[in-house]
Amino acid sequence: MLKPKIHKISEIKFLPQENIILQNGIKLSSFYNNDVNALKIDFVFPAGRIFQKKAFVAAMTNAIIREGSNQHPNSAEIEEKLDYYGIFVQQRIETYWSIFSFYIPLMYLNKALPIIHEILFDPVIDQVSLDFLNEKGKSGLIKQLKTPAFLAKQHAMKMLWGENHPMGYFPKPSDFDELSRNDLNQFYNSYYKNSKFNIYVSGNFPGVFLEKLDKLFGQHPVNTTTPELSLKLKDRHIEKLIQKEDKQVQTALYWTAPCIGPRHPDYFDFKIMNTVFGDYFGSRLMSNIREDKAYTYGIYSSISPKTTGTNISIQTEVGKAYLDDTIKQIELEIDNMKTQLIDNEELELIQNYMAGELLSVFDGVFNHASVLRYLDEMNLDFSYYKDYIDRIQSITPKTIRESARKYLNTDNFHKVCIG
Amino acid sequence: MLHFVKHQLSNGLRLIVHEDKTTPLACMNTIYNIGAKFENPERTGMAHLFEHLMFTGSQHAKNFDKVLEAAGGENNAFTNNDITNYYETLPAINIETAIFLEADRMQNLNLSDKSIKAQKSVVIEEFKERYLNQPYGDMDALIREMSYKTHPYRWSTIGIAESHIADATKAELLDFHHRFYRPDNAIIAISGNVNTQNIIDLVEKYYGNIPAGKLIKPNIPKEIIQNKQRITEHYADVPQDAINISMHMPDRMHPDYYALDLISDILSNGKSSRLYKNLVKGKKIFTELDAWIDGSIDKGLLQIFGHPNSKYSLQDAENALLESLQELHDDPVTNYECAKVANKAISSWMFSGIPITNKAFNLAYFELLGDIGRINKESEFYLKTNKEQIQKNISERINPSQFSILRYHAK
């Protein structure tokens, strides 16, 4: 039996995108595909964690918006309608964005719009809901604080960003007691109410639908300036923390370091190098530490791009007895990346793997909207992905080694081990 | 309406193809009709361990993942109590590589001493990471142990003990592969930007000469009927108390299955559900409360799980929950409630059916259930479940004498 011939991917086809600007300057981007009888609308506010001055304000504001409106102070009435029409709502915050995604069956589209408008632009921020959400948040956090992997990550983030930075702050349960209605009101007014949010529509929708959106969401005044961010990753001295927990049967390891971001000319090379090193199932780290040594269920090195600074993190959970050798093996694999050239077989593998992964990012109309949101955050456009795939197909073993020499250094990592 | 073509090879292998020209990708999903319920009680965890061993290379592809990754693909697998499932997603032009890989590991799997040793160790680390090192990680095992006395659903897929995994011999594992990894015990579904005839030809080419097995279906004992409440008190080093109430369900193909699914939705799907409105948002006795059905093929469980608000004792919270369950009897389900949960179930089914990976899995799964046509009738089944049928199931199945209650105390 012969291995089938492998075909190379050299281009990605994007679905056509239509952009319109609403009367108040809000940008609406849409991707149309009538194969599904449904659509997704994402409302994306610059109201993520990075903007908060007090712990959990961003998350709690995002959550409380769904807990009742001036028209329907009891959120149950709104929830009844959402459920009856089979509308799913996902709400979450990221570093930069606060995102509300509405998944709507096409047949209930007209019913959905006024409800969405009411939820997002007429919320009532009351004490009862705040107490309720605080209790939930607190109980979730208490649970997380018992998990070695969570603790390790939080310690590492504190080292990376500094504890006064919203991303580096080490959360404690009592933070929830400090939150007031006023904090949330202020945050809502600054980052939602008149902020410059974006709308992404994807899926199946009638032609007149975008006009309807303009009528509903294009009317209220919008502050067209983007909120300023003065927060950046600082050059900090490298820190180390080892915390032993006798009860744990495994140790959580988390290393993190600042690195170059998507707008840097060397970024694609760095991203490809890191994939070889630790960002897919067949990576050097996985092959050695999981497949060969069987110390762990998984070990990854991943890059997290953010507008305020990008970082690279190596993370795993290993059996306690294997910790020392795991660290030795990570250092050895970093060293190999810097001293040896990858062979043609591995090069071809990584090229095809990454090209295939890129294709899957564009699988389906809903995913297009998510990709565009990322590009908007990074101030990039779809040509980024054209350049990316070109770079994947043209990279050489020398460039990969060069990138490791320049950007992958054991000494740059803050290192945490817990458990 | 999902269009598909079904084809069966002479060795018994079943193939389903769905063409979707809107994606550049294709997905191959393979179900083996071997889950933890087919295991020997002295050697539990074998189906799951074997899922790991299927990635250790075959005669013509020494490294499964590398060959697939070189074709731009990604894959994953899972084992549950009923099945072991494998899938590959890759650029549609490279679908042949997935077919080649799956066929080769069905026919020519390499089982070396080294790979067996390594995968046993990985699985034991997984056991520790997910089941011992996680707060509440042992809950599934405790619930199964309490709810099932005879049916093999009484153990989790990871197995009863680490020693079952550690002690498995090479001969046992070879025998396992030979018995269960046969064409007549597998169902393949391929969806994506493919040509149906081309797929049929490729599957014939790679699988056609693999001999059928002589599968003797293990005799699975039926679960005894529960008519007395069971309670387990468990103490562990966790941050908060928790409670779980489980009760038995009809099997997956039983007409009442949908009624039970909708009952779990009436209880806790969405913020307008009864338990959420009453105990979470209303009286604030619970900070978290969920009800769901496990969807297993044989008689499964409807479960309700919650964390009480720290102001309430576990006992008070349990009483409040039992009271809310009693309200299902005293305050019958309305037509409106019924329509609401059916609408939501249909919408949920529609959204979950959009990704090609889910389409491929669903096609293979409904074929395994014995009626692939049902894939296009799910909505109908939900719509025709009326309030009388729901109320009948409440009175027959949602009763304290049928509950298994796990009180999970924070030490």
Nearest-neighbour CA in chain A from B35: distance (Å): 21
- pLDDT at A231 (0 to 100): 59
Contact B69 A281 (CB under 8 A): yes
Q: Using an 8 Å CB-CB cutoff, list chain A residues near B287.
A: 135-136, 139-140
pLDDT exceeds 90 at position A249: no
- pLDDT at A230 (0 to 100): 58
pLDDT exceeds 90 at position A311: yes
- pLDDT at A235 (0 to 100): 62
Full-prediction pTM beyond 0.90? Answer: no
Q: Using an 8 Å CB-CB cutoff, list chain A residues near B97.
A: 3-4, 6
- pLDDT at A232 (0 to 100): 62
Report, as an integer, the average pLDDT of A82-107.
95
Residue A145 near residue B135, CB atoms below 8 Å: no
- Interface predicted TM-score (ipTM): 0.85
Tally A–B CB contacts below 8 A.
Answer: 196
pLDDT exceeds 90 at position A364: no
Show pLDDT as tens, one digit a residue, over chain B (411 residues). 899 999 999 999 999 999 998 889 999 999 999 999 999 999 999 999 999 999 999 999 999 998 999 999 999 999 999 999 999 999 999 999 999 999 999 999 999 999 899 999 989 988 887 787 788 999 999 999 999 999 999 999 999 999 999 999 999 999 999 999 999 999 999 999 999 999 999 999 999 999 999 877 778 999 999 999 999 999 998 889 999 999 999 999 998 999 999 999 999 998 899 999 999 989 999 989 999 999 999 999 999 999 999 889 999 999 999 999 999 999 999 999 999 999 999 999 999 998 999 999 999 999 999 999 999 999 999 999 999 999 999 999 999 999 999 999 998
Of A1, A13, A85, the CB nearest to B60: A1
* Mean per-residue pLDDT of chain A: 92
Q: Using an 8 Å CB-CB cutoff, list chain A residues near B103.
A: 1
Residue of B nearest to A106 (CA): B347
Of A9, A37, A142, the CB nearest to B72: A9
Nearest-neighbour CA in chain A from B226: distance (Å): 34
Token digits for B376? 């296009």
Nearest-neighbour CA in chain B from A285: distance (Å): 14
Q: Among B68, B129, B382, pick the best mutation site for testing chain A contact (most A Cβ within 10 A).
A: B129
Token digits for B5? 């073509």
Please, is B99 exposed, middle or buried when counting C-beta atoms within 10 Å of its C-beta (0-12, 13-18, 19+)?
buried
Q: Using an 8 Å CB-CB cutoff, list chain A residues near B71.
A: 4, 6, 352, 356
Residue of B nearest to A321 (CA): B125
- CA neighbours within 13 Å on the CB side: how many for B24? 21
* DSSP states along A200-261: EEEE---TTHHHHHHHHHSSS----SPPP-----------EEEE--TT-SEEEEEEEEEE--
pLDDT digits (tens, 9 = 90+) for B150-181: 999 999 999 999 999 999 999 999 999 999 99
- The residue among A246, A120, A259 whose CA lies nearest residue A194 is A120
- Under 8 Å CB-to-CB from B361, ≥6 apart: which residues? B29, B85, B87, B189
pLDDT digits (tens, 9 = 90+) for A111-170: 999 999 999 999 999 999 999 899 889 988 998 998 899 999 999 999 998 888 899 999
A237 touches chain B (CB under 8 A): no
Report, as an integer, the average pLDDT of A10-36.
90
Nearest-neighbour CA in chain A from B228: distance (Å): 33
- The residue among B136, B134, B139, B162 whose CA lies nearest residue A252 is B134
* DSSP states along B199-263: HHHHHHHHHTTSPP-------PPPPPPP-S-EEEEEEES-SS-EEEEEEE---TTSTTHHHHHHH
pLDDT digits (tens, 9 = 90+) for A196-243: 999 999 999 998 888 899 999 998 888 877 666 655 666 667 888 888
Contact A294 B70 (CB under 8 A): no
Residue of B nearest to A246 (CA): B133
- pLDDT at A229 (0 to 100): 65
Contact B270 A352 (CB under 8 A): no
Contact B347 A143 (CB under 8 A): no
